[in-house]
Amino acid sequence: MKYIVMECHFSYAILLDEEGRFLKAANRGYQVGQSVYDPVIVGSYRYRPPMARIFARGVALVVACLLIILGITYYRYNMEAVSTIVMTINPEVKMELNRKGEVLELVGINADGMTLIADYDYEGKDKIAVADALIDRAIEQGYLTEGGTIAFTVDSKDDDLLPTYRKELLEEIAAYLAGRIHVEITVIGEDLPAPDGTTSTTTDGKPPLTGNPDPSDYIGVDRAKEIALSHAGLTDATFESAELDEDDGAMVYELDFIADGIEYEYEIDALTGKILKHQSEPIN
């Protein structure tokens, strides 16, 4: 390309190329009217980093992304509190667990609970190990005696974990205490299905006997009322009577109530919550 020098300044010159562009270029001792062929044009220089640096930059970016993903995964699995287990004997303590079921934090809820966990190093230990150790302490300190109860309340952000935790707590703690002390273990979870099976009695490590129901297994009179009302399609009613009775060797709740001038009678199985009998008739 041929350029004509149009104007000369101290630090630059203005050139006209053959395509009609006016350009600023380095003034390499040019004179107006001169034709030049190899000018250094302003703005034409673009710094291009060497390939190695571009490559290194790419690698650094990939590594950074991986580190972030790894960090998030590590946090999710190890640092984030996913579940809580509250253990109540008389001392009450709360464990916060990560996704792997390891104890992140252990706090005493009541004064006895604080005494129980004093100086106990729980960090990174599994929930069962912590529970076992705390039960040992409770026995040592006289909180837990023969025939006592241990209640666990389980809650988790991940609902899939609840049944697993329930099973683990029931079985492993029962196995741990088997042959040493006879206590009753209850596991309550917010979203746990059917209440049966949440309880196990350590009868020397054997599973709880069926047909010899424990009163704590009963669904409770309030729950029975709820079942009856929802069956009748009511939200509220006046209860004439609501009591636990034995009927043909099974425990039932017998409920009598009145709503909108109709009298209802219900019999509900105390263990399963099943409606055994129901009838309704107008009062008159």
Name the phi and psi angles at 245, rounded to 5. Answer: -145, 160
Closest to another protein by CB, 6 vs 250, is: 6
Single out the segment in contact with another protein by CB under 8 A; choices: 10-18, 138-146, 202-210, 246-254: 10-18
Nearer to another protein, 40 or 70 (CB): 40
How many residues in the chain? 284
Q: How many residues bind another protein (CB under 8 A)?
A: 31
Amino acid at 71: G
Under a CB-based contact definition with an 8 Å cutoff, are residues 154 and 189 in contact? yes
Least distance (Å) from another protein to the CB of residue 52? Answer: 16
Segment contacting another protein by CB under 8 A, of 8-16, 62-70, 118-126, 249-257: 8-16
Least separation in angstroms between residue 38's CB and another protein is: 9
Q: Provide, rounded to whole angstroms, the least separation between the CB of residue 39 and another protein.
A: 9
Count CA atoms within 13 Å of residue 28 on its CB side. Answer: 12
- The Cβ of residue 272 has, within 10 Å, a number of other Cβ atoms equal to 14
Q: Which is nearer to another protein, 39 or 113 (by Cβ)?
A: 39
When the beta carbons of 21 and 167 are compared against another protein, the nearer one is 21
Amino acid at 254: E
- Which 26-65 positions form the footprint of another protein (CB under 8 A)? 26-29, 31-34, 40, 42-43, 45, 47
Could you tell me the smallest distance in angstroms from the CB atom of residue 10 to another protein? Answer: 5
Burial class (CB in 10 A: 0-12, 13-18, 19+), 257: buried
Nearer Cβ to another protein (31/145): 31
Q: Tell me how far, at minimum, the Cβ of 2 lies from another protein, in Å.
A: 7
Q: Which is nearer to another protein, 32 or 175 (CB)?
A: 32
* φ, ψ dihedrals at 216, nearest 5°: -70, -10
CB contact burial 59-87 (16+ within 10 A = b; e otherwise): eeeeeeeeeeeeeeeeeeeeeeebbbbbb
Least Å distance, CB 23 to another protein, is 6
- CA separation, residue 103 to residues 66, 85, 89 (Å): 27, 10, 19
Specify the residue, 21 or 157, whose C-beta has the smaller distance to another protein: 21
As measured in angstroms, the least distance from the Cβ of 60 to another protein is: 22
Closest separation in Å from C-beta 49 to another protein: 11
In Å, how far are 1, 64, 95, 104, 127 from 122, measured between CA atoms?
A: 80, 33, 9, 8, 9
Closest CB to another protein among residues 8, 262: 8
- Within 8 A by CB and 6+ apart from 48, the residues are none
Rule CB under 8 A: which residues touch another protein? 2, 4, 6-7, 9-12, 14, 16, 18-29, 31-34, 40, 42-43, 45, 47
